[in-house]
Structure 1
């Protein structure tokens, strides 16, 4: 199994962010699928299509990609924190997606694509449906959480296993399972009723879907991105506490 991130370079995500994630992976076999010419310290494979934003993730399903096409993949969003061992994640057999954190507990809850296990044998289904109809599919207007790449992937794999079912408590949401009212990104809608600001025991991966990004929190279990970034985050924390 190969761990893969995807970086389409832009204002929000740069090669430095890919380096930040891949440092967390240590010596695990991993690479970044990217349009960057080079990312020092990070093995890379090229994006072969000019699909914008999150749509670049569909290249994970290209069974003919010369570097990743034949591989089983564990895909991880770049704005993700690894907080424990990933050994258990190598034993999966079926395509696996997140249940959208905003819809947990709902019947027929839609999937999310922030963390995915993609077996090589399943890739052709999404690829054949997308590659020749990409412009039309990307132009479709669908409301969250049925939008974008995850909406399309979920349509192709309605039988996908869900992480929250096969590995309960191991992949969590910062907003749903950690943040409190005094922390950035707190959401009354997402809060699970027990989150108390600390990292739950047993969590292996923490997803940061949207704002804040992990490097904007200055939390002790989040790897530092840069000194300037950490100082800025701590100043915001201080001001938030003063406002009470």
Structure 2
């Protein structure tokens, strides 16, 4: 098995060099998995690494090369290696990769749920959460590394019984832990990935954690056997993917922080929050169903509710005789400055400090009343807090939490402002039946890809940001139920959602669960 010459080059692979080529690889030997598993894995991998700067190829070690789906290259299986033992041959110099090429291995029974760009850049192996060894379901290395896994391997290892403490953990009839135990013994110093990158399906039945890159299906069920929840939406060709954008933004962290630094120096009022606001708040986003609820929004206005719109929704309302009290902006792209053109002076603008400086420049030029607020996004939080340190004695430094969209952040802005009843319109988080993404024309979203999402028996077409928003809405709903504006003080916020689409249906389901409880 390990009889090939041991090339000196295998000992001299540079560890820090970025890969010029990435080879994704899997193993499908024997009748256990149909080739549809290979096709689905390839699709999941490629759609979650679409921002990668490297050339890539997809390979499969198999004894059924003629059945491989299009776009997958065959590596003939070694007939002397049963099942998972085919993995040890991946570390042979005979593999069809160039010295130093990056290799990324996935088992067939994993569901890719997160972006893979940073996984590809970081060599490592899973740390098994249940057994005292590595887990070979996911491995990243450079070709030429860990050659001892192959060179030291003999057929005796296949039949060798595991130590008693390991054997006690194995299923009945299994004598050893297979390639995983062997890889652990041969490469004990192989760095492991962060634990929260990979979780078992048993811990992710409701929804994969945000940090998770892949869900591992130990034992039963396998992905193809799960027919409800999130799995069918991800584990299929053309399924939806996680998002390359950093949470809540469309620009890089460096650009956002640069915007914050510039905009914080402006002579503007900062969001204060923590008021005792007695009225209810009507939040109007721009989804298609919003236009069907104008009579209700007018009725809220007559009853004295505060009307808060987001982005360009104010224009649609204003043209129909409803001028919002406040309009909120979050997006950091300069193109969003166009939302300000034609705005009435009676409307206050709450603009996030991460917005492009051109937005603030135009607001000043137009004479619009502007309040600056800080988006407390997860990535870069510590740097943001440090950047705002000099202002704490003179300004209210409040980092507003929330999800990835301006609608979700506006819910938190309203809660911090003292509103305890929120009425939401235009937060459908799915396309209308006619394919519309907004109640009005908005060119920034004209090229959003539509992906199918299932909830129960209903199907929705959603852009990627809509799927994330819908997932985050559930957390926002629950967090606002126990909202604590001050230490040891809970003031629950009630959210009512009107509309047609994914989030309105989620809200109805959450209310039903509350009543049942």
- TM-score, scaled relative to structure 1: 0.71
**Counterparts of 1:219 and 1:59, CA distance in 2:** 37
Match of 1:75 in 2: 105
Cα distance, 1:37 vs structure 2 = 2.0
Deviation at 1:26, TM superposition (A): 2.8
Corresponding residue to 1:172 among 199, 204, 216: 199
Is 2:161 aligned against 1:141? Answer: yes
1:211 equivalent in structure 2: 220
Written as runs of structure 1 = structure 2, the 5 A alignment for 1:79-118 is: 79-93=109-123, 96-103=124-131, 109-118=132-141
Give me the whole-angstrom Cα distance separating, in 2, the residues matched to 1:224 and 1:116.
20
Kept in 2, the 8 Å contact 1:84–1:203? The answer is yes
- 1:200 counterpart residue number: 209
Q: Structure 1 residue 225: deviation in Å?
A: 5.5
Structure 1 position 155 matched with structure 2 position 185: yes
3-state SS, counterpart of residue 86 of structure 2: helix
Q: Give the conservation status (yes or no) of the 8 Å contact 1:72–1:118.
A: yes
Q: Which residue of 1 aligns with 2:27?
A: 6
Q: Give yes or no for contact 2:134–2:180 (8 Å, CA) kept in 1.
A: yes
Distance 1:219 1:69 in 2: 42
* RMSD across aligned positions (CA): 2.3
Partner SS state of residue 207, structure 2: coil
Match of 1:45 among 74, 80, 85: 74
* Larger displacement relative to structure 2 (20-29 or 152-161): 20-29
- Residue of structure 2 equivalent to 1:21: 41
- DSSP 3-state at the match of 1:26: helix
Secondary structure at the residue paired with 1:18? helix
Deviation (angstroms), 1:47: 2.7
2:81 matched to 1:62?
A: no
Q: What secondary structure is seen at the aligned counterpart in 2 of 1:169?
A: helix
C-alpha contact (below 8 Å) 1:47/1:56 kept by paired residues: no
* Offset from partner CA, 1:114-172 (integer Å, 9 cap, x none): 11112223142111111xx1x21101122246610101011001112112xxx342222
- Contact 2:28/2:60, CA 8 A, preserved across alignment: yes
Which whole-Å CA distance do the structure 2 matches of 1:22 and 1:150 have between them?
Answer: 23
What is the CA–CA distance in structure 1 between the aligned matches of 2:113 and 2:138, rounded to whole Å?
A: 14
- Equivalent residue in structure 2 for 1:127, among 150, 153, 157: 150
Structure 2 residue ranges without an equivalent (≥5) = 1-21, 50-55, 171-175, 238-455, 457-517
Q: When the two structures are aligned, how many residues end up with a matched partner?
A: 194
Instruction: Name the SS of the counterpart of 2:97 in structure 1.
Output: coil
For residues 184-242 of structure 1, the C-alpha deviation after alignment (integer angstroms, 9 at most, x for no partner) is xxxxxxxxxxxxx322122121111221111111244323559xxxxxxx9xxxxxxxx
Equivalent in the alignment of 2:62: 34
- Taking a change above 3 Å as real, the CA distance of residues 172 and 224 of structure 1, as seen in their structure-2 partners, is closer
